Structure 1
Amino acid sequence: MTHSPATGLVIARDLVRVSHTDREKSPDDQHADHARSAERMGWELQGPSYRDLGSASRFATKDREDFERLVADLEAGTFGASILMMWENSRGSRKESEWLRLIELAEARGVRFWIDVRGRLMDPADPHDRRDLVHAAADAAFEAGLLSVRTRRGTAGAARAGLPHGRVLTGYQRVYNEHTRKFEAQIPHPEEGPLITELFDRVDRGHTQRSIAMDWERRGITDRRGKPYPPDALKTLLTNEAYIGVRIHDPGRKPGSRRLSPLAERAPGAWPALVDPAVFWRVQKRLRDNAALTARPGGTKHLLSGLGVCHVCGSLIRRRAGRRYPSRPGYAAPVTYACSAAGGCARVPLAELDQLVTAVALAYLADERNYDAFRQAQEGHAAELEQIAAELAEIARDLEELLTERDAGRIKPASAARGEAAFEQRAEKLRAREAELLRPAELAGLIEPGPDVAARWKAATFDTHRATLRVLLRTEHLGQLRILPIGRGNGKAPVRDRIHLCRGEECRTGPCAA
């Protein structure tokens, strides 16, 4: 038995713990009770205490550092006391394995337990005391299990009722009864709510996450910690269905994971939406297609880079610097768009092509005959688009689970290959239907047709210009932009003669007719 050299008293140390929701005894209150019990029993309570903040339940996900330190000290023989004081058994652990390990180490080191609420000293080397300690561990684990079941049922019920859960989402604030402090409503935040609406509207118009993040930083817009929004944080906001009034309950999702599990359930949320569902699902399509949100600011500086192809080899066109001539100091050939293949098949002056394609696009959008192609309303499609997005997400989860089972050897490769092909076939049909629903309104939020289109183009951003041209330079609209080789000696040929807008199978003009 360990005694204090100064007083000759038996030395005791204590373990104090409080969970984030514990309202019974604080760590300081527990330590004070231990000190009074030690004085009454004639022991010397030495410190520092082992302080454990967090849940001791088997359902806990965070490490309990001081509990681990206590176990390590007992294993290493550096505990330095004969008695371990706790306020109650559950302050040790609600995990049977941890509690049994603690009992075994205490027995090996000759350490006894003092349980303050029972006013009893228990020796793990005594068969009767050991049985009581083991039974207490089982009881604590049983209570933790019941509490977890009640909590899960309560959370699931609240989810089906559409009630919010967890931290208050950016863009909203919660209202509580001033007397009972019970939740009453979740409503739009007067400052954050308009920012969320702006975020979705700007992405819908073709702005990139990074350009929005940089603009918000210049405007002094910060998150709740006072820090600027990084692009990745904006993407997290952009994919949250809560902004269209949807409550998701997913008991199968792993902590820290953004991917929904097969157990995920959706219900109408008991709060007003900040974003129109049609806008939300168009934004999801942009995110999936890696269209408007992947360009780095300064990465794509030129209007048509990557939006046209070489008519000879099909390579994308890129900006290429003009050649310099040593015999003509100060002179450089014009900057061009050129075939990105080695050697290059064709090129055309950059500034002139930008000007020509912009003029053609504006004329197309200002032509009344093209209005109907883009004015078909997307009304009535939002629910179907939402269902398609949910089915695509479900297919992705099922496919991932299938591949995991295959890699683990629980499914034969041939069977997995057939299943994978079936999933891909279903996904392809869904994506085709999604494209069909979105196509009539694919310029919604960008630069839409109308007689004043030139003024709106001038006021729009570079990102919006590129996003609009990305839609128009397709075979069903203006046609695919193709750069033609012109041969030697024809460098002064008009730009209009050096390009072709191909309409695919319907194209029966120019080089496509040959």
Structure 2
Amino acid sequence: MTTTMLPLTEKFLLTGREYLRVSKDRSGRMKSITQQHDDNARSANQHGITLLEPYTEHEAVSASRYARKARDEFAILMADLETGRFGADVLVLWESSRGSRRVGEWATMLDLLEDGEKLVHVTSHGRTYDPANPRDRRSLIDDANDSEYESAKTALRIRRDMAARAAEGRPHGVCPYGLRPLHDARTGRLITWEADPDKAPVIVELFERIRKGHSFKALERDFAARGIVNRRGKPFSGPHLREMATKAVYAGYRLYKGELIEGTWEPIVDRALYWDVQRILSEPAHKTRAQRPGRVRYEYTMIVRCDVCGGPVGIRLHRGRGEYMCQDKGCVRITKADVDQIIEGAILGYLSRPDVYEELVSRNDSVEVATVTAELAKLRAELQKAENESPMTVAEARMFARLIEDLTPKVADAETRLRELTTPGDLVALIEPGADVAKHWKAAPVSARRKVAAILLTPEHLGEVRIARSPVRYRWTPAAERLVWRRAE
């Protein structure tokens, strides 16, 4: 069923449908869809083919196995060939690589064309091929082999270039908020990134306020009220601010395949501050909805407990004053202000001790902390990459699901280990050497004070605080006599 140039008397006896696609390659031969169609129309006219409705990819998508996006129109073409809805005699391609740069995919298409007794016209060849003809089929398969080989060479070169740039710490991708690109004045090529004088202070403030215990919801409201907006001119959302707070780029790092590499740009956030924030974000209070900062009004509720039943203590108003009261059974009641004064005095006295500062802060400077921190950063990067992948097939989806399932507990284990090795950032921010701890405590948001209380009011530190019943019923007893401090033996 091989066809060649038809006599003039037999012109336009065949119908054809084009598959039009613009690739992402930067070769000089790349043509627009309109240019491809014009070439196809001239060639079809010479070979007696009447063109019908084309299959047109409206986005530039690759036909290689390295493609990230699916070719929607190609999938429709394959389905039409398989079900007999193709509705023409000839598939018209500007060049064979427009169809596919994957040998297996190309061979499948040729099989469907042969089964349906369809032809392939390649405009750049000036020929019409019959997939049922062994010589024609071999020519088309050879083209596919060549296209796949060129794609593989290009992909390898790109990977090598990317690896080389990563090893040098050179910037990659879209320049993030807070930085700006620095180009060579003569060539226009990107040299590195540098701090944006208008936006970098916003990033520094973001990190500093997170370390002080401010919630993302509070930061979102404050930035919006001050007119601080993202590049699209819209207010920052809490989730966006959280994502920005995890970016190693602000600490001068280039992230490549989970590895942190020294960047060629200067950090706009001090690295000690960056790692403090990463530790804070990995703490349980930033993981569960109930414990998120900004969702609590009191420092010690649900931390202080009833000494009678062991249940949590909450707040109630009685005659215009706040009282702590057993939440479960109402076993105990006591004036809130009296208890708060005692607990706050114990916390501030403890944090003001020089030996406490030395003992707690020194835990953050060990080699083991640095090792676990680096491993956690790598695992988080791998997990984020797996979660953001767009699988092309069911097999790929299953593979990424297994990878996510494997990485998630590893990230959790590393976070737990880091918490065991380090002092939480909220605590570090309150006990800076030479600082007025009481002043910092008053200035800190309730969410930060609550997190510190949850750490210190435990048997391992100051002791778990419990409220006992008054020894004599209906007689007032000082709060100091009713507080029980349960410490570890």
Task: Give the TM interval when normalised to the shorter protein.
Answer: 0.7 to 0.9
Q: Aligned residue for 1:353?
A: 339
Selected match of 2:33 from 27, 30, 50: 27
Counting only pairs closer than 5 Å after superposition, residues 138-153 of structure 1 correspond to structure 2 as 138-153=145-160
Q: Distance in 2 between matches of 1:137 and 1:8?
A: 29
Kindly indicate whether the alpha-carbon contact (under 8 Å) linking 1:209 and 1:293 is maintained by their aligned counterparts in 2. Answer: no
Q: CA deviation at 1:486?
A: 2.3
Q: 1:430 to 1:283 in 2, by over 3 A?
A: closer
Q: Which residue of 1 aligns with 2:122?
A: 115
Q: 1:289 aligns with which of 283, 286, 293?
A: 283
Which residue, out of 224, 235, 259, partners 1:265?
259
Q: Deviations over 1:292-313 (max 9, x none)?
A: 6753466311121233233345
1:18-58 CA distances to partner (integer Å, 9 max, x unpaired)? Answer: 23444521222212211222233343323344226311111
SS in 1 for 2:173: coil
Structure-1-length-normalised TM-score: 0.76
Q: Say whether 1:163 aligns with 2:170.
A: yes
SS of corresponding position for 2:21? strand
CA displacement, residues 265-315 of structure 1 (integer Å, 9 cap, x when unaligned) = 332111111222222222222222223675346631112123323334544
Q: Any idea what SS the aligned residue of 1:113 has? A: strand
Structure 1 residue 374 corresponds to structure 2 residue 368: no
- Shift in alpha-carbon separation, 1:427–1:468, aligned structure 2, 3 A: closer
Evaluate the alpha carbon distance shift between residue 491 and residue 15 of structure 1 in structure 2; reply closer, same or farther with a 3 A threshold.
farther
Post-superposition offset of 1:474: 4.9
Identity %: 35
More displaced, 451-460 or 218-227?
451-460
Structure 1 equivalent of residue 449 of structure 2:
465
Q: Which residue of the partner structure matches residue 395 of structure 2?
A: none
Residue equivalent to 2:313: 317
**Rounded Cα–Cα distance in structure 1 between residues aligned with 2:418 and 2:437:** 33
Tell me, in whole angstroms, the C-alpha distance in 1 between the residues paired with 2:215 and 2:453.
Answer: 15
Whole-angstrom distance in 2 between the partners of 1:188 and 1:276: 13
For structure 2, the 5+ residue unaligned runs are 2-10, 383-398, 400-405
Provide the alpha-carbon RMSD of the alignment.
3.7
Deviation for aligned residue 1:226:
3.4
Query: What letter matches 2:21 in structure 1?
Result: R
Which deviates more from structure 2 when the two are superposed, residues 482-491 or residues 131-140?
482-491
Within 2, Cα distance between the matches of 1:78 and 1:428? Answer: 58
Question: Deviation per CA, 1:198-256, whole angstroms, max 9, x where unpaired?
Answer: 11111111112222223223333333333433333333222222222222221xxxxxx
Q: Gaps (5+ residues) in structure 1?
A: 2-6, 251-263, 324-331, 399-407, 409-415, 506-514
Q: Distance in 2 between matches of 1:246 and 1:104?
A: 50
Corresponding residue of 1:70: 77
Q: TM-score, normalised by structure 2?
A: 0.79
SS in 2 for 1:444: helix
Shift of 1:132: 0.9
1:68–1:452: structure 2 CA closer, same or farther, 3 Å change rule? same
Aligned partner letter, 2:232: R
CA contact (8 A) 1:446 1:464 kept: no
Q: Report which stretch shifted further, 228-237 or 287-296.
A: 287-296
Structure 2 counterpart SS, 1:105: helix
Q: Following the alignment from structure 1 to structure 2, what is the Cα–Cα distance between the partners of residues 122 and 282?
A: 66
Q: Kindly indicate whether residue 301 of structure 2 is the aligned counterpart of residue 301 of structure 1.
A: no
CA offset at residue 386 of structure 1? 2.9
Q: Evaluate the alpha carbon distance shift between residue 386 and residue 98 of structure 1 in structure 2; reply closer, same or farther with a 3 A threshold.
A: same
Decide which of 191, 195, 198 is 1:191's aligned counterpart: 198
2:484 alignment partner, one of 488, 497, 500: 500
Alignment of structure 1 residues 449-460 onto 2, 5 Å: 452-460=436-444
CA contact (8 A) 2:252 2:262 kept: yes
Alpha-carbon distance in structure 2 between the residues aligned to 1:384 and 1:393: 14
CA contact (8 A) 2:17 2:55 kept: yes
Residue type at the aligned position of 2:276: R
